[in-house]
Structures are given as C-alpha cells and as structure tokens.
Amino acid sequence: MAWKENFDWIGKNYGNLVKEYKDKWIAVLDKKVIGVADSLEKLKKMVKNKSKDRLEEIAFEFITDKKFPDFDSG
C-alpha cells in the first residue's frame, strides 16, 4: 500500500481521529493507526523500530480541531 492511500485514509477519517487523538501526532500504515506521540520526532523513532522496511508507506499527521484560514479564497 502506498503512502498516499494512508494519507487519504486520514483525511476520510479525520473527524473520528480528532475525537481520539486530538493534539497528537499519529502514524498510519495499512489504513490503521500504528503509533501516537506528542512529537513527530518521538513518533518517528517509535515506528522506525516497528516498520523499518515500510517507512516510505507511513503517513504522519498532526491531529487538531483548530481551523486554519483558507489561503485559496483570496
């Protein structure tokens, strides 16, 4: 499975992910959360030990309920 599929899964499930992982970094592989941490550095170390041969497939994302401005709206 490619990184993009895991990243797309995060987007489709973002609402549920916010409820469970608000203000945390998550790592997703095979459309499953495989790690959670307060910092990206900690998370990368954690998943590196679990999935070294598939690191390029893992999607990392900071989960937040904060809204950001839409820069495309001019």
For residue 59, the cross-strand partners are 28
Q: How many domains does the chain have?
A: 1
Is 73 domain-assigned? no
Helices assigned H by DSSP within 1-61: 3-12, 14-21, 40-50
- What is the share, in percent, of the chain residues with pLDDT greater than 90? 76
Q: Please indicate, yes or no, if residue 71 is contained in any of the structural domains.
A: no
Classify residue 72: in a domain, yes or no.
no
H-run or E-run covering 62? strand 59-63
Share of the chain above pLDDT 70, in %: 91
In a domain, 41, yes or no: yes
Domain contains 14 = yes
The 10 Å Cβ neighbour count of residue 66 is: 8
Residue 50 counted as domain residue: yes
Q: Could you tell me if residue 47 is inside a domain?
A: yes
Which residues contact residue 48 at a Cβ distance below 8 angstroms, ignoring those fewer than 6 apart? 55
74 in any annotated domain: no
Q: Which domain holds residue 61?
A: 3-65
Mean pLDDT throughout 20-31? 97
The pTM of this model reads 0.86
